[in-house]
């Protein structure tokens, strides 16, 4: 099968990006010819993966989205494919994978946390208007044959905001590299990473992974430290963005306990060094970092606004926050996990849960969808 996969960034850092890389490698290993159309990429050594360069004007988000959508259409017209699957909002695809969720829902939820004037300008920003136009075309026009929602939450959001038959939307959960993100990493990496970060074995390391700090609730996480009863903690933030602006929400003493790192290739080492994971997102279609943490044997604290929350049994593999902006609730959840006797069995359950979400399972489910579409062409 010749499959075109459209993704602006085909790189080996970032939760969504690593998922796409793992998923396409799985398909390629099954003998399918994978053609990646991207603007930024990490070279692939797999003989069944070919990368096509697509131009984009990077002057601002509006032009980047619009130009990439235009240039990628020019690129795929000269090729013939069995399936065209886009991970970006463009005009033409057989399958759209809604990895970014429903933009209309994100704007609605974000508005809840903004003052009136910011709310107005946020909603009517040109970039957001363009995304909404592209999103409406994908969901309500019949050109895109199948929408892949990466959680039941995303499916509900799409059906809430747009007029389309429910059968056009299918839920296919993400997969994770179980051999890479594994509790066995603790023995070789835990001590090494903690020494580099100057974190003692007696301190509890809390890990936050994700760029787009505003959407992922970093403000509320940093605010939570003022309510925490336990003081033997260290918070490690991994991601791109203006993280220093969030330090103002912590005391001078607590600021010294917060460490920021830029994205790294060997992110599995950080999970190995951590004791548990926190991601209090305002809106998160799934949150692959949650799945990476679970696979690494870490209990997680995430919000009800995150798609991954629907696979979690509270206090078995993690804790679900009903309101991600409730910093006191975040502090209570962190205090609960400060006890290793509670944390360790939850970590074991976390790994067992993650073992259900493999790239093999994801690829198998997607191939069934591909086959049905090809048969009905």
Q: Tell me, what's the pLDDT at 31?
A: 95
Cα 61-100-294 angle, rounded to 5 deg: 130
DSSP tag of 376: T
Q: Tell me, what's the pLDDT at 202?
A: 94
Q: Tell me, what's the pLDDT at 117?
A: 63
Q: Tell me, what's the pLDDT at 20?
A: 86
CATH topology of domain 183-354: Rossmann fold (3.40.50)
Residue in this structure with the two tokens 């259409």, named with its chain if needed? 73
Q: Tell me, what's the pLDDT at 265?
A: 83
Q: Could you check whether 2-175+358-375 and 183-354 share the same CATH topology?
A: yes
Q: Computed over its alpha carbons, how large is the radius of gyration of the chain?
A: 21
Q: What is the pLDDT along the chain (377 residues), one digit of tens a residue?
A: 999 999 998 887 767 777 888 889 899 999 999 999 999 988 888 999 999 999 999 888 999 999 999 999 999 988 899 999 999 999 899 999 999 999 999 998 888 877 766 666 666 788 999 999 999 999 998 789 999 999 999 999 999 999 999 999 999 999 999 999 999 999 999 999 999 999 999 999 999 999 889 999 999 999 999 999 999 999 999 999 999 999 999 999 999 999 999 988 899 999 999 999 999 999 999 999 999 999 999 999 999 999 999 999 999 999 999 999 999 999 999 999 999 999 999 999 999 999 999 999 999 999 999 999 998 87
- CA 17 to chain centroid, in Å, comes to 8
First to last CA, the chain: 15
Spatial separation of the C-alpha atoms in residues 154 and 156, rounded to whole Å: 5
Spatial separation of the C-alpha atoms in residues 28 and 10, rounded to whole Å: 15
- Ordered by start, the domain boundaries in the chain are 2-175+358-375, 183-354
Q: Tell me, what's the pLDDT at 116?
A: 65
* CATH dotted code for 2-175+358-375: 3.40.50.2000
Q: Tell me, what's the pLDDT at 120?
A: 64
Count CB atoms within 10 A of the CB of residue 112. Answer: 9
Spatial separation of the C-alpha atoms in residues 39 and 260, rounded to whole Å: 28
Cα 187-188-189 angle, rounded to 5 deg: 100
């Amino acid at each position: 099968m010749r499959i075109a996969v459209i993704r602006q960034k085909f790189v080996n850092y970032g939760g969504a990006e690593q998922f796409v890389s793992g998923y396409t490698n799985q398909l390629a290993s099954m003998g399918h010819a994978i053609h990646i159309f991207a603007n930024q990429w990490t070279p692939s050594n797999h003989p069944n993966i070919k990368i096509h360069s697509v131009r984009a004007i990077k002057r601002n988000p509006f032009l980047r989205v619009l130009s990439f959508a235009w240039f990628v259409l020019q690129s795929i017209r000269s090729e013939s494919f069995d399936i065209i699957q886009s991970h970006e909002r463009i005009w033409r695809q057989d399958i759209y994978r809604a990895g970014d969720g429903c933009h209309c829902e994100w704007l609605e939820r974000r508005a809840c946390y903004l003052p009136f004037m910011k709310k107005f300008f946020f909603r009517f920003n040109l970039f957001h208007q363009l995304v909404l136009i592209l999103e409406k075309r994908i969901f309500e026009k019949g050109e895109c044959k199948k929408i892949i929602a990466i959680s039941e939450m995303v499916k509900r959001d799409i059906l809430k905001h747009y007029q389309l038959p429910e059968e056009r939307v299918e839920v296919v959960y993400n997969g994770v590299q179980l051999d890479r993100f594994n509790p066995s990493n603790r023995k070789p990496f835990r001590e090494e990473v903690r020494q580099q970060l100057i974190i003692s074995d007696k301190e509890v390391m809390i890990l936050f992974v994700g760029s787009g700090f505003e959407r992922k609730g970093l403000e509320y996480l940093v605010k939570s430290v003022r309510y925490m009863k336990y003081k033997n903690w260290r918070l490690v933030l991994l991601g791109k963005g203006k993280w220093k602006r969030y330090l103002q929400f912590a005391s001078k003493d607590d600021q010294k306990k917060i460490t920021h790192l830029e994205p790294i290739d060997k992110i599995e080492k950080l999970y190995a060094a951590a004791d548990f994971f926190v991601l209090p997102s305002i809106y998160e279609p799934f949150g692959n970092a949650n799945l990476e943490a679970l696979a690494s044997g870490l209990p997680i604290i995430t919000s009800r606004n995150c798609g991954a929350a629907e696979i979690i049994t509270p206090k078995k593999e993690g804790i679900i926050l009903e309101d991600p902006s409730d910093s006191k609730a975040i502090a209570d959840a962190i205090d609960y996990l400060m006890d290793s006797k509670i944390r360790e069995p939850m970590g074991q359950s976390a790994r067992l849960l993650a073992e259900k979400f493999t790239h093999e399972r994801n690829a198998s489910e997607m191939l069934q969808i591909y086959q049905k579409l090809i048969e009905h062409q």
